[in-house]
Structure 1
Amino acid sequence: MKNLHGSFLPVLAAILMWGAAGAASGDESPFKSATFCHGLLDSQAPKDKAEAFYPDETIYLSVELKGRPKTGKVATQFLFRDNVIAEAEVDVAAVNKGILLSAGQNTFAGFNLTHDQPLPVGDCYSAVVTLDGQPLGTFPFRVSPPKDAIVSELKSVTLSKGLDDKNQPVDVTREFDTKDKVVFSGIADLGLGTWIEVGWVLGGMTDSEGTRSITLKENKTGCPFRFSFIPNGGWPAGTHEAVLLMNGREVSREKFTIKNGPALTQTVETTSFKLSSDDGRGGPGTTVSAFTPQDKVLHAGWELKQPTMVKGIRFVWTAIEAGSAKDQVIATATIPSTIHQSISTTLKAKNGLPKGKFKVELFQDERLVDGRTFEVK
């Protein structure tokens, strides 16, 4: 099973023109409309309006402004879910320079989104349009399944502790222990291009480490699927949820209970700290009390008091006094929200660090959890 995200490389182009349209309005906002379409006229006005596109189609968007503004930048961001996948902007001054405002003519900005791989199917897309940084609107669109795709439909789901040699669920239950692997399996009709994704919600927060998805490359009826997960540090006590999405829409939310796990907290408390040299593969190796200028990869890590749903974590590496640097931040890093029993950060120094005194700090939101000084000798 592989993650869906990053499976396409979109490119957004923008062109701005003026052309005949309705009379300019006296409204303060120059914005008139934003229209998705299958193509653009030479004026960048919409051609063949559309609300949906097939996965291999180019997405076109025509933004119409009233009259011929002499200044301003029209920008568009294309989003998949809440992630920006492409953006571009055009300057209205470049096309309207030296042209007198003429009643009955408007300005069109044309944007087109191209991509090397088919776009994921779903209603999870939008375009955010701004003028000089001020929002003009958010406009949704969808990517439809390919023409020859069958209708996707969830048939059944099961939670269990495992699967047998025929991939059938065994120990079907809704109650698990802290070290149990929870298996989410089911049957569905899945059409070409359909993607399904499971997320695990613990204490009201999704553990991003457990999110997995698969995309169908052919039509399959009665198709079995399965996902499994156990958080780092084990399941905390309480009631949690496994949430199944199909093409971005929730189709199942299954609750289960952990009775014997540790209490879940979101406040980071540390019990120990260590510095480590690199193991040659990008991971922590031998524990050290100081580094040398020959160390190109430096590791710092903390053990936590109990499994914690880590959120808002930031690491800061600072040169206190090293070479010509004094109290200078040299690197920062964050980690995704997920359950941790320990947390760590890595500093990569291409030419090594100069001899001197440094510190690495662990923050949760704006709270300093711990800070440690070390030397490069």
Structure 2
Amino acid sequence: MNSITAVTDPANPKILEAYGSAGDQLKFDSVYHANHITAQVPHYTGMARGQTVRMTWENPRHIYHSEVVTVGTPGAIDIPIPRIEVIDAIGHTVKVYYTVRTAPGTAPIPSRTLLLHIDPYEFDLLAPTLSTDQITLSVRYVGMVRGYTVRIRATGKTTWESDEREVQTGVTPTFTLPSNWIAENRGIDTRINYSVYKSGSGQRFMFSKVLRVRVGEAIPEPILFENFDGQPHSSIVAGQSLHIASMTITLTSGPNTSGIQTYGGPIAGMLAGPAIVTNSGNESPTGQQQITLNLKSPYSRVRFAYTYQLRAAEIYFSDTAGNVGQRNLPADASNGHKWIDYSAPTGRKITTIQIVSRDWSYLDYFQFWV
């Protein structure tokens, strides 16, 4: 018999392997050999037999939902989070929460959110990139120098591991996916990442973020790129706009200035040369800025790099009928760099992007798909 007991404001989950006084930090080395970590649903107010719970692990790149678990005898429930999801969030802050359904067909009730900070590596190991023909994988991250080796691992229905390559300063290693692995995994959602090892050190491997791709599914090319090269240095205050070929940039509200500027600390492949700046020149800005990008054409998908993001930020995607989706970026103690990639629901197209920023940050390397 399903319960209809009132559930109000469920407490946030716990990560049993976390450390710190608030239990909100995780060192990957402490779970290096584990198959999973454990997210625990507490005995929340109103918990009763027959209710269901589902855990959500939301990192800036991917959202993982656990299986739905039915409550038996009320009490704490342990739910595993796969190791690969932890690897994909190294160096970032993850939003961990669960939802409760008191009976079938009822609206899910969200818990409070745990902001879990996963300790960074020495390097920010970006996911590998895959060529449009889905054959060649490339590895590139900031700080690639001699003295390290790199190896690819691709997992779907079957698993393939590449040979080990020595990293050469300034050289991008490439790997060819075997034709038999491609054939065996056609139509399968796969996960591809790489490991980096400091030669002869005896240290543990470091693991990159994860590329998720369905083998055999066409990867369309973006129709337009915008990295602001050739745009002059500019500065705008609230209410002012900049007009360029791909978009109109407006500082809708907030203190400080925005515009297109060049930062002296470039991030290879994510921030180079001119870029949209938020809270220009302010290491510790107060308040928040809202920047609106009105695109000159509608697009089904938009991707861009968001660098130097320390405080929480929100990104809203809209079409002419209103909001179509958003990305919430939690506070990131690593002052991290990340890709924002959003595809509109079927039948909708993105015409406007609004960014709410609380940092001196940069937006660069925009890509657009029709």
Name the TM-score class by shorter chain: 0.3 to 0.5
Q: When you count strand as a share of all residues, which structure comes out higher?
A: 1
The alignment's TM-score, normalised by the length of structure 2, stands at 0.32
The alignment's TM-score, normalised by the length of structure 1, stands at 0.32
